[in-house]
Amino acid sequence: MNFDKVFGIHEQALRLRARRAEVLASNLANADTPGYKARDLDFKAILRGQMDGPARHLKVTRPGHIQPADGGLPIGALEYRIPQQPSLDGNTVEAEREQVEYSANAVRYQASLRFLDGRIRTLRTAITGNPQ
């Protein structure tokens, strides 16, 4: 059984959504930091790159290697956000926009979790014959 076919794209989607939640939370935490530049990642572009073929990842192959700061995202995946209305102190975080993006990301994360839960329940039922 090939679990990539069973779970589909949702495993990668969960990882990307979790990483995006971290980035958006960091933006919100720095909403009042002068000069802070809001960042985000283009979920669709990253996932498309994951599906098209091997993405360029930084890999740690030896204990002395430095961990990638972007959490293993493809190079260039984390981008600066262009604000609708820049502030005078150079901060590009727009709290309302970050909250909306964070909420939407959380809903999509939950949807992927529910899909995976359904698939796992189906597999468990097929293996054991018990629908619990």
Where are the chain's structural domains? Answer: 3-128
Phi, psi of 80 (to 5 degrees): -80, 140
Q: How many helices (H) and strands (E) does the chain have?
A: 4, 2
Q: What's the pLDDT tens digit per position in 68-110?
A: 555 555 555 788 988 998 899 999 999 999 999 999 999 999 9
Q: What is the pLDDT of residue 108?
A: 93
pLDDT at 59 over 70: no
Give the separation between CA 94 and CA 113, rounded to whole angstroms. 28
Nearest to 80, CA basis, from 127, 116, 42:
42
Q: What's the pLDDT tens digit per position in 110-119?
A: 999 998 898 8
| Beta-carbon count within 10 A of 74 CB | 17
Stronger pLDDT, 18 or 11, i.e. the higher one: 18
Mean pLDDT of the chain: 81
Give the separation between CA 58 and CA 69, rounded to whole angstroms. 10
Burial class, 70, CB count within 10 angstroms (exposed 0-12 / middle 13-18 / buried 19+): middle
Q: 21 falls in which pLDDT band (50, 70, 90)? A: very high
For the chain, the residue count is: 132
Nearby residues of 106 by Cβ (< 8 Å), 6 or more positions away: 21
